[in-house]
Structure 1
Amino acid sequence: MASEPVARAVAEEVGRWGSMKQTGVSLRYMMEFGSRPTERNLLLSAQFLQKELPIRIARRALELESLPFGLSRKPAILKVILGEWSVNKVRDWYLDSFRDIRYFPEVRNRNDELAFTQMIKMIKVRHNNVVPTMALGVQQLKNEQCRTRKIPTGFDEIHEFLDRFYMSRIGIRMLIGQHVALHDPDPEPGVIGLINTELSPIQVAQAASEDARSICLREYGSAPEIDIYGDPTFTFPYVASHLHLMLFELVKNSLRAVQERYMNSDKDVPPVRIIVADGAEDVTIKVSDEGGGIPRSGLPRIFTYLYSTAKNPPDMDCPSEGVTMAGYGYGLPISRLYARYFGGDLQIISMEGYGIPVLHFLSDFQPM
């Protein structure tokens, strides 16, 4: 265990780095820089990350010290991780990562860069469970303070914090993932790091739909069909994993709504529809269903972290390792953050008694 002077010195350094200004990196710049993954460019990338990552990580550690409504004391965030894990809370994961980067020798040559790359790969793995762990803490908070449908005044502070926290996490993982992926000795044609310069949204929609239907089949024994419309030859530059995550979440929600509405009905089950449109400035993906929609009173809450339409959410003390159809209440707000990360957005329009058209706007090249 660290001595008090050492702990105080680390805390002071975290405070100092957390007050620094972070540097935005655009999708366009990542593409242009990553198109030439020479040893020199990889070295420059590592040197940039050695200075940039501590700023972003320190900011999150500082915020985790002062969460509103006692959120930092929730058992799910402070729970001891069994086995060989030595950290016992999300904040400690960030502090450990901050120390790893700050105490790493200055990156000066290729050997340094390769060692640094391995280190940040481990940091990325360390933070894999941050989102579900935080979600459990928020749900426990919800169980304590949201006994009625009305969210008490002041919870906006929690939503704002979580939006900042998760958006920053997306940025950190994007920076690390892009640098690591540039070391791939045999990248696919048109792929620069994590960015597919010729990404087919139709193909991603098909893959996300298949994954979502498999989950629905596992949960209910059947699943509605999914119809996809759009130009199969259309491509645009984007991060495939981001688009897949967003579409998977949206399609999964639509499948669940339709399945639960028609599971005891003699009527034909209507399909979920996905439409991909290429505009002059934006790519728009519309996901729509006939699952009955959401009451008007519920619409303001669908992008909060304290709301879920699931009738039987997962056990808050036993997080599932697999993907569930619904329950934790962070799928939509997280998906919107992914859409916004590169300048897009996600909007939902509900027609109560009919279904939900989900208008998913994607822009690109915005710095974050």
Structure 2
Amino acid sequence: MLCTLPQRTCALETLLRLPSALRARAFATATAVPTPTPAPSSIPPPWRPSNVLDDWVQREARPISLRQLTFFGRTLTESRLISSANYVRLELPTRIAHRLRNMQTLPYAALTNQHISHVYELYYTAFEQLRKVPEVRSLDDNDRFCVVLQTCLKEHLSVIPRLAMGILEIQDSVSGDECDRFMTTLLRSRISRRVIAEQHLALTETFHSPWHFDGKKSHTPPDEEFVGEIFLKCNAKEIIEECAKAASDLTAKAYGPDVVLPKIVLQGHLETTFPYIPSHLEYIIGELFRNSIQSVVEHGGSSATEPPPIEVLVCEAAQHVIIRISDRGGGIDRSILPYLWSFAKGPRRHQRLQNLGQVPRLAATMQELQLPPSDPDFVKRSSSVDMTGENFADSSSLGKLSSRSPDLRIGIGLPMSRIYAEYWAGSLEMHSLEGYGCDAFLQISRLGNKNEVLSTRATMDAV
């Protein structure tokens, strides 16, 4: 069936907003077969000029390390806070521009997917807002800039579930491997943007605290071990115990009060400490414990006997800390094992889509795994209020931003955990012995001197 004039105009506008290097390929793809009438769920993003985006894509992102963030924020002065604001003001639109260009390189059919288009619109709106922020010269300018940051953080909570649904739906036009690379690139960049935005918001909150006075401490601060969002002395034992308890409680709620949960046995260098962002570590270890505890419970069936324990070993080396979590939950099914780290490939595609549809917002934190608010055991959100008068938990990905049932499996926990682990130059590996159990190995940098791992250039610019 032939296209109507409005449809042809819409397609032409979409081609015109692409850089010249992509127009030929997009035009050839669009004209190879008759263009179908677009469904209401397949509306392309509106036309926008590409020259503004081109200027920002030419800029390189400037990676940072935990140590740099720590040294910069420990002695916080007004000039340092303003310098931090201007770094974030320029860095965020730069990183967003590269990801917009990545999305522009997708096939036309993929870009018109309702979920990918939704993410594209969120990114472009944030890009326009951030690039127009004038230079921060005073504390009042910084406070206004922080309001913009908080708004962007809150609005982008729908990015992860919408991206996950989008790549599951565009399999006909984009291969599974390309979808995984695309998803990994966007999520790694998302983590990086939230890190620098939330770190600046935390430094601003510190600067306005009553115990802080222009780089000096007039009173004893609530916790001297925090610099912004960075905890200088993350204790392996404490974090493991907290995550184990949280995962055990969630499993008990999911399977009922009569379920027999495995014990968690800790050994090794339990007093080791290291600088890290707690929410990242909690998410990784929490996901590993959730998988292990659920596997042991399901593998044991309805037996009332005590299940085998989950053993956790902490090893401290000169530059790394390695955490091994071993369970006897029967291992990973052979049909799932090849797709363990994939967002797009593997079985249960339709079930994952259905479950993701029940999660409108996702911050990828351990704290958001709660039962609905109607449950009497639901943990109430933080009562802290930010400078906009709103609940700060709604604008920070470290709060309880959404609630979803702990047994709702959406298929992104392990690949997301690996992205978190690799972000600060660490690693996450899984070894399965079918019929027996699994060993998960998490390695993280002990010194905090590794730069964040970024996809600094858009795919088309690296060719």
Q: TM-score range by the shorter chain?
A: 0.7 to 0.9
Question: In structure 2, which of residues 268, 274, 284 is the aligned counterpart of residue 246 of structure 1?
Answer: 284
2:437 is matched with: 355
TM-score by length of 1: 0.86
Q: Contact 1:256–1:325 at 8 Å: present in 2 too?
A: no
Deviation of residue 224 (structure 1)? 2.8
Question: In structure 1, which of residues 51, 54, 64 is the aligned counterpart of residue 93 of structure 2?
Answer: 54
Counterpart mapping for 1:68-79 below 5 A:
70-78=109-117
| Range that drifts further, 283-292 or 299-308 | 299-308
Q: How far apart, in 2, do the equivalents of 1:133 and 1:9 lie?
A: 22
Question: In structure 2, which of residues 412, 431, 435 is the aligned counterpart of residue 330 of structure 1?
Answer: 412
1:148 is matched with: none
Q: Contact 2:428–2:442 at 8 Å: present in 1 too?
A: yes
Equivalent residue letter for 2:310: V
Q: How far apart, in 2, do the equivalents of 1:19 and 1:174 lie?
A: 23
Question: In structure 2, which of residues 158, 167, 182 is the aligned counterpart of residue 161 of structure 1?
Answer: 182
Deviation of residue 133 (structure 1)? 1.7
Equivalent residue letter for 1:241: S
Q: Contact 1:136–1:316 at 8 Å: present in 2 too?
A: no
Equivalent residue letter for 1:57: I
TM-score by length of 2: 0.69
- CA-atom RMSD, angstroms? 2.7
Q: 1:18 to 1:225 in 2, by over 3 A?
A: same
Q: How far apart, in 2, do the equivalents of 1:138 and 1:236 lie?
A: 36
2:255 is matched with: 220
Q: How far apart, in 2, do the equivalents of 1:38 and 1:169 lie?
A: 28
Q: How far apart, in 2, do the equivalents of 1:20 and 1:326 lie?
A: 41
Greater gyration radius: 2
Q: Is 1:172 aligned to 2:189, yes or no?
A: no
Q: Contact 1:258–1:269 at 8 Å: present in 2 too?
A: yes
Deviation of residue 307 (structure 1)? 4.9
Counterpart mapping for 1:263-282 below 5 A:
263-265=301-303, 267-282=305-320
Q: Contact 2:165–2:353 at 8 Å: present in 1 too?
A: no
Q: 1:161 to 1:32 in 2, by over 3 A?
A: same
Q: How far apart, in 2, do the equivalents of 1:34 and 1:121 lie?
A: 20
Deviation of residue 50 (structure 1)? 1.3
Equivalent residue letter for 1:367: N
Equivalent residue letter for 2:129: D
Q: Return the structure number with greater relative CO, CA threshold 8 A, min gap 6.
A: 2
Q: Per-residue CA shift, 1:84-114, capped at 9, x if unaligned?
A: xxxxx11111111111111122212222122
Q: 1:10 to 1:117 in 2, by over 3 A?
A: farther
Q: Contact 2:430–2:440 at 8 Å: present in 1 too?
A: yes
Q: Secondary structure at the match of 2:157?
A: coil
Q: How far apart, in 1, do the equivalents of 2:113 and 2:305 lie?
A: 46
- Identity percentage of aligned residues: 30
Q: 1:31 to 1:51 in 2, by over 3 A?
A: same
Q: Contact 2:336–2:347 at 8 Å: present in 1 too?
A: no
1:365 is matched with: 449
Q: Per-residue CA shift, 1:117-155, capped at 9, x if unaligned?
A: 22112211111221122112233446xx6xxxxxx9932
Q: 1:177 to 1:350 in 2, by over 3 A?
A: same
Q: Contact 1:291–1:354 at 8 Å: present in 2 too?
A: yes
Equivalent residue letter for 2:438: I
Structure 2, unmatched stretches of 5+, are 1-12, 18-45, 210-220, 360-402, 453-463
Q: Is 1:192 aligned to 2:230, yes or no?
A: no
Equivalent residue letter for 1:366: K
Question: In structure 2, which of residues 121, 146, 150 is the aligned counterpart of residue 121 of structure 1?
Answer: 150
Q: How far apart, in 2, do the equivalents of 1:326 and 1:250 lie?
A: 16
1:100 is matched with: 129
